[in-house]
A = this chain, B = another copy of it.
Amino acid sequence: MEQAIGVFDSGVGGLTVAREIMRQLPYESLIYFGDTARVPYGNKSAETVIRFSKQIVRFLMTKNVKAIVVACNTASALALSSLQEEFDVPIIGVIEPGAVAAVKSTVSKNIGVIATEATVKSGSYNKCLRILDPKITVVSKACPLFVPLVEEGLLEDRITDDVIQRYLHELKDYQVDALILGCTHYPLLRNAIGRYMGEEVKLVNPAYETAKALKALLYERSMLNEDTSVSPHHAYFVSDGVDNFIKFADNVLPADVKMTSLVNIESY
């Protein structure tokens, strides 16, 4: 099936998921939407995140996508089941793939989850992890300062190390041996977080696992693009700030970002 895969996020963070999909599914075309006019979602209510997510899926459906990846942890946590109920296209989120990988990796059965306030409050990772293995203990922590620190470029900085220590010392007390980086920005702090948590703690990046899950889903349903002679076509849409988006995307993605268009998402 030559139709594209739709990928969306509250902003630019989901590009790390898009990058993994491009790596693992190099013949698939992508339509990416970033809701840069209304970013962030992480401190907003479920009702609002569901409403915004439905508008985005309606927009992606106009592009005739064959499947949709909710690349935003908050939207996956709060809106995935509502989207799956309403729309007739396979839709996957980042929570379940991340949880599966963490359960595979843990020995102590103590798993840490760091995410936005809305994701932590939703309990979605907890529920998913407990279904996979009821013996697991989950320790969750909202880390609202991580996204602004990443956006300020303070990836290696004393201030960031201080904030990491402040947020994560509880997780150390619980002796977690797997830590889910439950927000698309957090993998950019992987080195600093890894240094603090220590080598024995496996850091799980749901982006990688989600691309793997998408590949399995498309394969099972015979929806993979089989024409490998034509290069895939990637298109990008945002609700604000095309230039800023292109600058960021060019740093994250393996290829140059050419086509980025502005969408009035509120009208969908």
Enumerate chain A interface residues (CB-CB to B < 8 A): 36-38, 43-45, 47-48, 144-145, 147-149, 151-152, 158-159, 162-163, 166, 239-241, 266
Contacts and interface: CB of A to CB of B under 8 A. Distances in A.
A148 B152 CA distance: 12
Contact of A166 (B38, B48, B159, B166): B159
Nearest to A157: B166
A45 B262 CA distance: 12
14 contacts: A37-B38, A37-B48, A38-B38, A44-B240, A45-B241, A48-B241, A144-B151, A144-B152, A145-B148, A145-B152, A159-B159, A159-B163, A159-B166, A266-B266
Contact of A159 (B38, B43, B162): B162
A115 to B, nearest CB: 15
A163 B162 CA distance: 11
Contacts of A47: 240
Contacts of A38: 37-38
Given A47-B240, A158-B162, 19 more contacts: A37-B38, A37-B44, A37-B48, A38-B38, A43-B151, A45-B240, A48-B239, A48-B241, A144-B148, A144-B151, A145-B145, A145-B148, A145-B149, A145-B152, A148-B148, A159-B162, A159-B166, A162-B162, A266-B266
